Structure 1
Amino acid sequence: MTSTIDDLIDAMTLEEQVSLLSGEDFWSLPAVERLGTGKLRVTDGPNGARGGGGLVGGVKATAFPVGISLGATWNVELLHEVGAALAEDTKSKNAHMLLAPTVNIQRSVTNGRNFECYSEDPILTAELAVAYIGGLQENGIAATIKHFAGNESEIERTTMSSQIDERSLREVYLIPFEWAVKKAGTKGVMTAYNKVNGTYASEHNWLLTEVLRGEWGFDGIVMSDWFGSHSTAPTVNAGLDLEMPGPPRDRGEKLVAAVEAGEVSRDTIRGRVRSILSVMEWTGALNDHRPFQERAEDRPEHRRLIRRAGAEGMVLLKNQNILPLAPGQRVAVIGPNAKAAQIMGGGSSQLNPHYRVSPWQGLVEALGEEALSYAPGCGNNRFEPLLQAPLTVEFFDNRTLEGPVVATETIQAAETFWVGAVADGKIPATYFSARLTGQFTPERSGTHRVGIASAGLARVFVNGRLIADAWTNWTKGRTFFEEGCDEVVGEIELEAGKPANITIDFATKDHSVLGLAALRMGIGLPLGADDITHAAAIASEADVALVFIGRNGEWDTEGSDLPEIALPGDQNALVAAIAEANPKTVVVLQSGGPVEMPWIDRVAGLVQAWYPGQEAGNAIADVLTGAAEPGGRLPQTFPVRWSDNPAFSQDPLVYPGQDGRVEYREGLLVGYRHYDNHGIDPLFPFGFGLSYTSFAYDNLTIDRSRIAAAAVNVTLDVRNTGDRAGSTVVQLYITPDNPPLKRPQKELKAFAKVALEPGESRRASFDLDARAFSYFDVDAQLWVAAPGNYTLTVATDAVTPIASERVTLTERVEQRP
């Protein structure tokens, strides 16, 4: 560490040192004004740099594809590009660190945050994370890899203990973090909310000090997730540098007192401060005295990158000679996601995008509106449709809606998060009340449903009548990061075209863990059986029917796992009806993970489009029309049914958890490993995806010249045998023939994305080192490549081998972790 930083620490009082170990506000650390330091500012990611605004509203930002969409690209070079572009967007928000990437493993198909993660496989996740971090940090923005560790579910995540044996931790869940430190040099690590084997991750000495710093050599900032620190001395002593957000809850004066009482040493404080200052120096924050200003930069090159990345992540799962669409066809555009731009998931990765392109808009641009017809068919909302209308918000400096109005503002929709302070900073966001007023004009007459969900007390009046009451008997539920109630719904008759007056009363209440206030109010007229019948009639008159179904950010969201993986609402019935009306039906699925597909044999085509960012509709239209190739391969196994999933169990201790514990009893058998070892056929296997062209694979060769060190080089010729440009993903799996202890049947150890013009050939090459052959010996605390035979299989997915060769390791090779 430079003498400059040590000199700076020496010049600080204890109070000034301690001030740097917690946030000043929601997004920044305090400056030490006496010594002229700047402020370190962070912003949320990973699919965009949101800036200092809330989860809705605020300065506009660029919405990139979500994690699972990027994971489906299997393209490390593309992830590097995305990281570099996000560095530019982070700078536009006057921030120095991006809270990204998210690299937790997709253990369960129902995890609400799967959309934010790359894959069920640790190697694919690690490779992509390293590239993403490289793109960020080569452009001066510090990455903050998260959530360390064991956050594979959103159920009671702030208190749940993930019970994971050390071997599974080492071989599965820690690998992306290890690679991020050792290969990418990540400057930040964020701890998970949950406990790991009984100890909160934010005060877990083994994770933070022994493994992260001691074994891996991490020298950056370890920060808590927001409100994820639960103690003073234990977190500091365990290795947590930074408590976020501010103002401090567990540090500040409490930490000064702990030092003076001898509970925390001054050397420990110096070490934590040194970590903070080193990253501030690296990012330039230490001497950054620019006035704080956030800019909305909608760059054309970012638009192009998002559109290209979105298409490259789309996975063609079925194609009976129907895609790409032939020119001149009449196309029926059906479904709840057809005119809704589902560009991202829910939770802390949300942002206010520059724009949203729906599939309908993308197809209008590509085909012309005269070629299209439309019907929604059914809905897929988890909540009642959000009220999209201006609302006046009046704030009161109490929880009783009494006294003078201290501030007024206008919001454009009935969804808002309040954090830090409200009313122009006059009132803390944990203690106030507000009245929101506006209007709703129905498009159709009928019985409308009115819903309210809130982190705080809330009630909705329509034309002066109380319709939805989440105030009188408020009960904690699964909204707003488990700080909110489940939606409370009431009904009222409304007349088409006649405005209805809406009033929402809100008051804060004591929170559980996260200091936020929030509400969401929706109103709508439900669709019914007649709407499916009408959609089928529209489809029957078209040459091709495109059905846009799936989920949205209400379902795929931080803070709430999915109740199941069946499609919500009447979407299965809709697909069945459309397929019956028109055999040339293509389903375009948008979701953050697998869904059950009882209709799969009745449709001609299926594209998994994920949540591909603000260019969603254009990227989808590019793939459907053939302007772009569907370049994706599944980063997660799609099971036939939910019960096939590795974490599914009749014992709630395995999932979703019980009495504050969730046991990872499947051990190493996560994802495709589970299906292999239990002989379960998936609906679509890990790594699967079709193309608009074809490929040949030849001449598998293995260089064994370094076999004594348990290292080999594998090469293979790949040739595009079709008449279109396209890409394939060559996957290399290793199977130990007779391992000294139980191992998965096979494990992905390397892959290559190969893009080729028609007739073009290229040689794919894979370097495997000893770690590729190793298991972790917990007793010896060593990585061990055991002597014996190993089968190396090159494949196009987890169940489709191309060629295989056997290699023999004659020596035991050991490595320290």
Structure 2
Amino acid sequence: MSDRIETLADQMTLEEKVSILSGEDFWSVPSVARLSIGKLRVTDGPNGARGGGSLIGGVKSASFPVGIALGATWNVDLVREIGAALADEVKSKQAHMLLAPTVNIHRSVTNGRNFECYSEDPILSGELAAAYIIGLQGQGIGATIKHFVGNESEIERTTMSSEIDERALREIYLIPFEWAVKKAQTWGVMSSYNRLNGTYTSEHDWLLSDVLRKDWGYDGIVMSDWFGSHSTAESVNAGLDLEMPGPPRDRGQKLVEAVKSGAVSEATLNQRVIAMLRLMERVGSLDDVRTFKEVADDRPEHRALIRRAGAEAAVLLKNNGALPLKGDGRIAVIGPNAKIAQIMGGGSAQLNAHYRVSPWQGLVDAVGEDRLSYAPGCTNHRFEPVLRGSFRVEYFANEKLDGAPAYVGTQDDAQAFWIGQVAEGKVDPLHFSARLTGSYTPETSGTHRVGIYSAGFAKVYVDGKLIADAWTNWTKGRTFFEEGCDEVVGEVALEAGRAYEVVIEFATKDFATLGLAAFAAGIGLPLGDDAIAEAVRVARNADTAIVFIGRNGEWDTEGSDLPSIELPGRQNELVAAVAHANPNTIVVMQTGGPVEMAWIGSVAALLQAWYPGQEAGNAIVDVLVGAAEPSGRLPQTFPVRWADNPAHSQDREVYPGFEGKVRYEEGIFVGYRHYDRLGLTPLFPFGFGLGYASFTVSDLVIDDAEFEAEGNVMVGVTVTNTSNREGSAVVQLYVSDDAASDPRPAKELKAFRKVKLKPDEVRQITMTLDARAFAFYRAKAKHWLVEDGSFTLRVGLSSADLPLSGTVTRNTTLMLPV
């Protein structure tokens, strides 16, 4: 602790100390003017820096590839570079901390937020998280790794208790956070919404004090997720430094009184204050007295980095010689994601990107529009397409649309996410109503679907007639972080070319956990059999058909798990029909995780492209035409069917949860560990990915001279590029305990290395294993244990392709502290 921090803490009054332990508003911690302590500002991440604006609109920002895409790169150097670039983005939004990275484990393939997290494996997640944090904090911007811990589902996440035994916590779910603390010295940790074994994580003494601070030596701050604090004395005493957002609900005067009454000791309060002052010193906010003005900083170097990273994240899962594209033949461009740039998932990670490049535009730029033909084939949206156009918005300082408007404004589409200040402060953000008036002119005549969903009460009128009513019988659903209703849809016959008046009425309602008001209204015309028939015709008349399918941020989103891993809508039917019409069919998939693929045997190639950020179309097309190598490898096992996933169970308490509990019954057997345990063959294994280059690994050398004394082992291997193209191999090292006293996985990833090689290049690489790589956690004894006996080391290019193996042996046991 610096002398300055100690002096400031001594000079602060009780009220001043308490003031910096909670937010002032949605994105900042207040200044202490008397002592010239500046304001601390934070911004959401992790695939960009949104700034202080809403989830919709706001100052534009760079949109980077999402977490699972970065996980697929297996490239710690690239992720560190992205962390540094994101520091630039945070500075452009005049903030000091980024609420990122997200490192929860892919326990279930249906988790709506898997797209935001790196992997099903804790070592891959931990190494990438550490790199991200080092890159970010190396530029003076604080990281806030999240969500600590057990937030592996979005179902009732603000109240659900994740029932996880300590061994599974230590070996799987805590490791990314432990690596962030021990390897990257993260400055911030965010507690999760959920309870852990019955206690909210924001007031979990064992988690925040024993594990984080005592076991790992953490000296940063713990902040609550937004509205994720539930108590005053309990959270402060357990180790929660900062309640967000502000104004405070559980602190402020309540905390002042708790200190005066002795419920919180002055010593404990000072620990929290010192932690906050130390953070402010680290990020430079102590002396930051500038006027905060956010800017859109669209840098060429960030554009280039996003494009490169998006291409590197792409995983080539099948290729019968169709890729890279060859010749100058005609290309049929088909599918719901062809002309729409799916660049990110939904929820708090979304932002207003500088721009969005669709696959269609990327192909036009790469090969010319004259070679292309297009058919959408079907839709894949979860909600009716948001109505675009100018709307007049009248805001009322009551919830009944009564009297004269308190404020009149405009907005560009029929959606809103109101948090913090609304209508320039003319209405209470939690108690107001609004009327939006605009128009819609359909391109095609027919029966249109009108949809509305809202966190609040809402109605949609078309030419004065009520079409969709999410007001009269409003019921809580799975939208807007579970504060909103499910979409209510009505139908109306519309004529092409005629302008219809659209009026949307909205009023706030009491919230459950998150104080927000929001709605989205859309109008769509369903696509039928004729659309698939047109796609077949277009495919039949082309040399190559590329089908762009998947999901979008309506499906892969915070606040809602997926109902299944089937492709939405008629996409399976579309792929099967196109592949039947043209055997040279390439599928480009954009999802936040696996899908079931009954058609996989009939297509020539499959590229998994995730959500690669604002350069999506360019990055995808770089891979399709061969300008970039698809060097991504799966960070999550793709099962044949959802039922093969470890969290799938007939017992609702295992998933999705029952009566407030979700039981992690599989323990440490998550992801590939589960498939190995049951002998299940996945559709595509963990760590798998093809490429345009090919590689071999050979000449395994194991140096175990320090294994007996220290538990350390050095592993060397030769990697050879056996092709005529430059490319990258991901060498993976797995460890097996041959005769463990406790159940252990058949193998576990413990080290990896991405290697870029020129044609015919040969390189020797070395990977290091420490004692923890061989240990398992003994919950009763409270230590890690490396047992005596033999361990098998396996090296290869995926969890199912491990041609090299060797054995190391210990004669004694080795106990390691937590």
TM-score using structure 1 length: 1.00
Q: What is the rounded CA distance, in whole Å, between the counterparts of 1:412 and 1:761 in structure 2?
A: 56
1:709-724 equivalences in 2 (<5 Å):
709-724=710-725
Find the counterpart in structure 2 of residue 736 from structure 1.
737
Corresponding position: 1:309 with 2:309: yes
SS at match of 2:732: strand
Q: What is the rounded CA distance, in whole Å, between the counterparts of 2:459 and 2:32 in structure 1?
A: 44
Find the counterpart in structure 1 of residue 593 from structure 2.
593
Matched letter for residue 84 of structure 1: A
Q: What is the rounded CA distance, in whole Å, between the counterparts of 1:419 and 1:21 in structure 2?
A: 21
Residue pair 2:317, 2:605 contacting (<8 A) in 1 also: yes
Shift of residue 583, structure 1, vs aligned partner = 0.4
Residue pair 1:420, 1:428 contacting (<8 A) in 2 also: no
Offset from partner CA, 1:708-752 (integer Å, 9 cap, x none): 121110010101110111001010001111001110111000000
Residue pair 2:344, 2:612 contacting (<8 A) in 1 also: yes
Q: What is the rounded CA distance, in whole Å, between the counterparts of 1:368 and 1:454 in structure 2?
A: 42
Residue pair 1:567, 1:595 contacting (<8 A) in 2 also: yes
Q: What is the rounded CA distance, in whole Å, between the counterparts of 1:810 and 1:537 in structure 2?
A: 69
Find the counterpart in structure 2 of residue 321 from structure 1.
321
Corresponding position: 1:785 with 2:786: yes
Find the counterpart in structure 2 of residue 63 from structure 1.
63
Q: What is the rounded CA distance, in whole Å, between the counterparts of 1:452 and 1:646 in structure 2?
A: 35
Corresponding position: 1:194 with 2:194: yes
SS at match of 2:29: coil
Shift of residue 105, structure 1, vs aligned partner = 0.2
Offset from partner CA, 1:761-797 (integer Å, 9 cap, x none): 1112110010000001111111111111111000211
Shift of residue 427, structure 1, vs aligned partner = 2.2
1:459-470 equivalences in 2 (<5 Å):
459-470=459-470
SS at match of 2:63: coil
SS at match of 1:408: strand
Q: What is the rounded CA distance, in whole Å, between the counterparts of 1:359 and 1:379 in structure 2?
A: 16
Identical amino acids, percent of aligned pairs: 66
Offset from partner CA, 1:609-638 (integer Å, 9 cap, x none): 000000000000000000001110000000
In structure 1, the gaps of 5 or more residues are none
Q: What is the rounded CA distance, in whole Å, between the counterparts of 2:429 and 2:743 in structure 1?
A: 52
Find the counterpart in structure 2 of residue 759 from structure 1.
760
Shift of residue 420, structure 1, vs aligned partner = 1.3
Q: What is the rounded CA distance, in whole Å, between the counterparts of 2:115 and 2:472 in structure 1?
A: 35
Residue pair 2:106, 2:117 contacting (<8 A) in 1 also: yes
Find the counterpart in structure 2 of residue 521 from structure 1.
521
Find the counterpart in structure 2 of residue 397 from structure 1.
397
SS at match of 1:439: strand
Shift of residue 79, structure 1, vs aligned partner = 0.3
Q: What is the rounded CA distance, in whole Å, between the counterparts of 1:319 and 1:299 in structure 2?
A: 35
Q: What is the rounded CA distance, in whole Å, between the counterparts of 2:726 and 2:410 in structure 1?
A: 50
Find the counterpart in structure 2 of residue 747 from structure 1.
748
Shift of residue 168, structure 1, vs aligned partner = 0.2
Find the counterpart in structure 2 of residue 499 from structure 1.
499
Q: What is the rounded CA distance, in whole Å, between the counterparts of 2:696 and 2:250 in structure 1?
A: 60
Find the counterpart in structure 2 of residue 605 from structure 1.
605
Find the counterpart in structure 1 of residue 4 from structure 2.
4
Shift of residue 257, structure 1, vs aligned partner = 1.0
Shift of residue 802, structure 1, vs aligned partner = 2.1
Offset from partner CA, 1:574-630 (integer Å, 9 cap, x none): 000000110000000000000000000000000000000000000000000000011
Q: What is the rounded CA distance, in whole Å, between the counterparts of 2:67 and 2:686 in structure 1?
A: 16
In structure 2, the gaps of 5 or more residues are none
Matched letter for residue 788 of structure 1: G
SS at match of 1:797: coil
Q: What is the rounded CA distance, in whole Å, between the counterparts of 2:662 and 2:698 in structure 1?
A: 46
Q: What is the rounded CA distance, in whole Å, between the counterparts of 2:803 and 2:404 in structure 1?
A: 74
TM-score using structure 2 length: 0.99
SS at match of 1:389: strand
Residue pair 1:110, 1:564 contacting (<8 A) in 2 also: yes
Find the counterpart in structure 1 of residue 77 from structure 2.
77
Residue pair 1:353, 1:614 contacting (<8 A) in 2 also: yes
Q: What is the rounded CA distance, in whole Å, between the counterparts of 2:781 and 2:361 in structure 1?
A: 59
Find the counterpart in structure 1 of residue 650 from structure 2.
650
Shift of residue 413, structure 1, vs aligned partner = 1.5
Residue pair 1:84, 1:138 contacting (<8 A) in 2 also: yes
SS at match of 1:366: helix
Find the counterpart in structure 1 of residue 174 from structure 2.
174
Matched letter for residue 779 of structure 1: K
Corresponding position: 1:416 with 2:419: no
Shift of residue 255, structure 1, vs aligned partner = 0.8
Find the counterpart in structure 2 of residue 560 from structure 1.
560
Matched letter for residue 181 of structure 2: V
Find the counterpart in structure 1 of residue 154 from structure 2.
154
Offset from partner CA, 1:278-319 (integer Å, 9 cap, x none): 010011100001111101000000000000000000000000
Find the counterpart in structure 2 of residue 375 from structure 1.
375
Shift of residue 357, structure 1, vs aligned partner = 0.2
Find the counterpart in structure 2 of residue 616 from structure 1.
616
SS at match of 2:286: helix
Corresponding position: 1:472 with 2:434: no
Residue pair 1:171, 1:775 contacting (<8 A) in 2 also: yes
Deviates more, 1:59-68 or 1:430-439: 430-439
Residue pair 1:698, 1:718 contacting (<8 A) in 2 also: yes
Find the counterpart in structure 1 of residue 776 from structure 2.
775
Shift of residue 421, structure 1, vs aligned partner = 2.1
Residue pair 2:314, 2:632 contacting (<8 A) in 1 also: yes
Find the counterpart in structure 2 of residue 231 from structure 1.
231
Find the counterpart in structure 1 of residue 584 from structure 2.
584
Corresponding position: 1:795 with 2:796: yes
Q: What is the rounded CA distance, in whole Å, between the counterparts of 2:763 and 2:25 in structure 1?
A: 53
SS at match of 1:530: helix
Residue pair 1:317, 1:605 contacting (<8 A) in 2 also: yes
Offset from partner CA, 1:203-224 (integer Å, 9 cap, x none): 0000000110111111111000
SS at match of 1:431: coil
SS at match of 1:41: strand
Shift of residue 403, structure 1, vs aligned partner = 1.5
Q: What is the rounded CA distance, in whole Å, between the counterparts of 1:292 and 1:421 in structure 2?
A: 16
Q: What is the rounded CA distance, in whole Å, between the counterparts of 1:710 and 1:212 in structure 2?
A: 25
Shift of residue 12, structure 1, vs aligned partner = 1.1
RMSD between aligned residues: 0.6
Q: What is the rounded CA distance, in whole Å, between the counterparts of 2:184 and 2:786 in structure 1?
A: 24
Offset from partner CA, 1:501-521 (integer Å, 9 cap, x none): 110000000000000000000
Q: What is the rounded CA distance, in whole Å, between the counterparts of 1:425 and 1:137 in structure 2?
A: 35
Q: What is the rounded CA distance, in whole Å, between the counterparts of 2:679 and 2:152 in structure 1?
A: 24
Matched letter for residue 747 of structure 1: E
Q: What is the rounded CA distance, in whole Å, between the counterparts of 1:160 and 1:764 in structure 2?
A: 45
Q: What is the rounded CA distance, in whole Å, between the counterparts of 1:509 and 1:595 in structure 2?
A: 37
Find the counterpart in structure 2 of residue 487 from structure 1.
487
Shift of residue 426, structure 1, vs aligned partner = 2.6
Deviates more, 1:369-378 or 1:753-762: 753-762
Find the counterpart in structure 2 of residue 665 from structure 1.
665
Residue pair 2:697, 2:796 contacting (<8 A) in 1 also: no
Residue pair 2:397, 2:428 contacting (<8 A) in 1 also: no
Find the counterpart in structure 2 of residue 531 from structure 1.
531
Q: What is the rounded CA distance, in whole Å, between the counterparts of 1:779 and 1:527 in structure 2?
A: 59
Q: What is the rounded CA distance, in whole Å, between the counterparts of 1:725 and 1:241 in structure 2?
A: 49
Q: What is the rounded CA distance, in whole Å, between the counterparts of 1:221 and 1:461 in structure 2?
A: 49
Q: What is the rounded CA distance, in whole Å, between the counterparts of 1:530 and 1:73 in structure 2?
A: 39
Q: What is the rounded CA distance, in whole Å, between the counterparts of 1:796 and 1:698 in structure 2?
A: 11
Residue pair 1:544, 1:584 contacting (<8 A) in 2 also: yes
Q: What is the rounded CA distance, in whole Å, between the counterparts of 1:737 and 1:434 in structure 2?
A: 66
Matched letter for residue 457 of structure 2: L
Deviates more, 1:255-264 or 1:769-778: 255-264
Q: What is the rounded CA distance, in whole Å, between the counterparts of 1:305 and 1:670 in structure 2?
A: 32
Matched letter for residue 223 of structure 2: M
Q: What is the rounded CA distance, in whole Å, between the counterparts of 1:391 and 1:320 in structure 2?
A: 50
Matched letter for residue 754 of structure 2: K
Find the counterpart in structure 2 of residue 387 from structure 1.
387
Find the counterpart in structure 2 of residue 354 from structure 1.
354
Deviates more, 1:423-432 or 1:135-144: 423-432
Find the counterpart in structure 1 of residue 547 from structure 2.
547
Matched letter for residue 810 of structure 1: N
Q: What is the rounded CA distance, in whole Å, between the counterparts of 2:162 and 2:684 in structure 1?
A: 29
